[in-house]
Amino acid sequence: MQANELQAIAAAVAAIGRAGGSPSPMDRRYSVTSGAKEVIAQPIYDRVNIATAVPASVALFSLQIGSSVTLIRAGATATVAKTYRDTNMVTGGVLQDRAIDVRAIQIILIPVVHTAAGAASNDIADDKATLYEAGWLDFVPSSKPRLRLPLLPFKFLDPDFTSTTATTTTMWSAAGVGGMMLSLGEDAILLEKGIPFQVTVNFDGAPTLIQTFDLQMLLWGYNERPVQ
């Protein structure tokens, strides 16, 4: 076999799972080049706060772990340092140690009050509907617009249930299954190692909420990283 043929085969093996198709189990096990790389299924995720006066936009994946931010913690909104509960971004806006094929997007809306006795908890479903109906997502890898879509598809992946009790303090809505993934099918979005990307959720019409929410987003896909 000629050297150029070997190089072509090596390039084809290295490209498996990076775009246009899921790696097979064998590819995931052996998707390495000279023992230097491996491919695993692992999302990147981030969390931002949405105040009752909904902002025009919020940027995700822009502030790394340890950053000082406003988020819900222990049942209240506070200024905190981001932990692995909130994000696994080591550097804001860029993947420094790996690439990822994004295959699905997941959004979870987390209310500050969700106990049955909470005065605002009966408005959870209305607040979530307001956000889903007013918002849209912009996904810009490598400074090139790649995906724009309204948040409405996520609304139907995030069902709610309402109790049937008779008093307003115990009549409440809460997340049901909630936050299921919106699949991109085989049309993966590649986030390359060392190349900045932006994910923004925008809101139209200056909506208002009864209570504060955190929005957590997970980008599910296959990560290419150094062997560990």
Residue type, 227: V
Question: Mean pLDDT, to the nearest integer, of 61-84?
Answer: 96
Residue pLDDT, tens place only, 156-192: 888 765 555 555 555 555 545 556 789 887 788 989 9
CA atoms in the 13 A half-sphere facing the CB of 153: 13
Question: Mean pLDDT, to the nearest integer, of 123-147?
Answer: 93
**Residue 153 reports pLDDT greater than 70:** yes
Quote the CA–CA distance of 99 and 95 in Å, as a whole number: 7
Quote the CA–CA distance of 113 and 121 in Å, as a whole number: 6
Model confidence at 35, pLDDT cuts 50, 70, 90, reads low
Tokens of 161: 């249930």
Whether residue 194 contacts residue 94, with contact meaning beta carbons closer than 8 Å, is answered with yes
